[in-house]
């Protein structure tokens, strides 16, 4: 029943105990994976170190994804610690709060570029440096949201960045399939995390999900964690380039 035993998986995007990446870590660890975590900056280092410390044999490495040298340093460190990498979980996004309210038409050049750099290009950048370590095949996953496909209130430039992210998943999947590396996205329903704090009127979004989603409840991070476990495992070996919805069905009705 240890679906991930012998698998080395890198998790990027734990900020605190509410982070989706942290729930993913719990699911992966409980199925026997060996984990490495990255932290963005000293601002979150202590919190990530404390959380990672509760998972035996895990390692923690710095990586701000806006800096190429840090991604290169990460790849070198992962190679040193693990030798072979089997999985990569990308759970990172950022936009300035002023871009996450009001009209999308008011998005600044700089805000657009920053949101795309951290939320979409970073997947390409880390995949580029880490797939060469996936000598035994691998699974890469990222986190997306329905705002990639629909114009949703206040999501604005992040929706456009998520559309770029989802397209990147398809192009990366097509490139890396020949190396037996799969690339997928999980589109999660809204969850109250640090990142969600930046989105205006988040409560009404949650309420709409409770009312309209087929399962009549909001998404829990553990539900995303268990789908991530499936994506990291052999069970999902036929799936690549896909966006899997873990949203209690909201996208079919909302």
Which residues are annotated as catalytic? Answer: 145, 155
Contact positions with ligand 0WD (CB under 6 A) in 92-131: 92-94, 118
- Tokens 């992040």, located at residue: 158
Contact positions with ligand 0WD (CB under 6 A) in 48-77: 64-66
Q: Assess 250 for contact with ligand 0WD (CB under 6 A).
A: no
Candidate segments 19-27, 81-89, 100-108, 174-182, binder of ligand 0WD by CB under 6 A = 19-27
CB of 37 vs ligand 0WD, minimal distance in Å: 10
What is d(CA 24, CA 186) in angstroms, rounded to the nearest whole number? 11
Contacts of 33 (CB under 8 A, 6+ apart): 4, 5, 7, 8, 9, 87, 232
User: Considering only residues 4, 7, 9, 19, which one is a binding residue for ligand 0WD as defined by CB under 6 A?
Assistant: 19
User: Considering only residues 61, 134, 164, 195, which one is a binding residue for ligand 0WD as defined by CB under 6 A?
Assistant: 195
- DSSP code, position 132: G
CB of 174 vs ligand 0WD, minimal distance in Å: 22
CB of 139 vs ligand 0WD, minimal distance in Å: 17
Q: How far apart are the first and last CA of the chain?
A: 36
What is d(CA 159, CA 177) in angstroms, rounded to the nearest whole number? 27
Q: Is 184 helix (H, G, I), strand (E, B) or coil?
A: strand
Q: Assess 145 for contact with ligand 0WD (CB under 6 A).
A: yes
Query: Exposed, middle or buried by CB within 10 Å (0-12, 13-18, 19+), for 23?
Result: buried
Name the residue among 117, 109, 124, 137 with its Cα closest to residue 7. 137
* Residues binding ligand 0WD: number (CB under 6 A): 25
Binding positions for NAD(+) = 13, 19-20, 92, 162, 191-195
* Residues of the shown chain interacting with ligand 0WD in the complex, contacts defined by CB under 6 A: 13, 15, 19-21, 40, 44, 64-66, 91-94, 118, 143-145, 188, 190-191, 193-196
């Amino acid at each position: 029943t240890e679906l991930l035993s012998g698998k080395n998986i890198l998790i990027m995007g734990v900020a605190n105990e509410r982070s989706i990446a942290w729930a993913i870590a719990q699911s992966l660890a409980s199925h026997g994976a060996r984990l490495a975590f990255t932290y963005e900056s000293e601002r979150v280092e202590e919190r990530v170190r404390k959380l990672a410390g509760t998972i035996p044999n895990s390692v923690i490495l710095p990586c701000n994804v806006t800096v190429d040298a840090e991604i290169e340093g990460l790849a070198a460190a992962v190679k040193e610690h693990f030798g072979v990498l089997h999985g990569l979980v990308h759970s990172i996004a950022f936009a300035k709060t002023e871009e996450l309210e009001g009209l999308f038409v008011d998005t600044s050049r700089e805000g657009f570029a920053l949101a795309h750099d951290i939320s979409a290009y970073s997947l390409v950048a880390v995949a580029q440096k880490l797939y060469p370590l996936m000598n035994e095949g691998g699974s890469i996953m990222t986190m997306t949201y329905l705002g990639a496909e629909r114009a949703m209130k206040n999501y604005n430039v992040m929706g456009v960045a998520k559309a770029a992210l989802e397209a990147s998943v398809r192009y990366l999947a097509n490139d890396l399939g020949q190396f037996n590396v799969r690339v997928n996205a999980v589109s999660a329903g809204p969850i109250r995390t640090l990142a969600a704090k930046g989105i205006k009127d988040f409560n009404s979004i949650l309420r709409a999900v409770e009312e309209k989603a087929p399962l009549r409840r909001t998404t829990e991070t553990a539900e995303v964690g268990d789908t991530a476990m499936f994506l990291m495992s052999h069970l999902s070996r036929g799936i690549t380039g896909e966006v899997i919805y873990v949203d209690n069905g909201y996208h079919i009705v909302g």
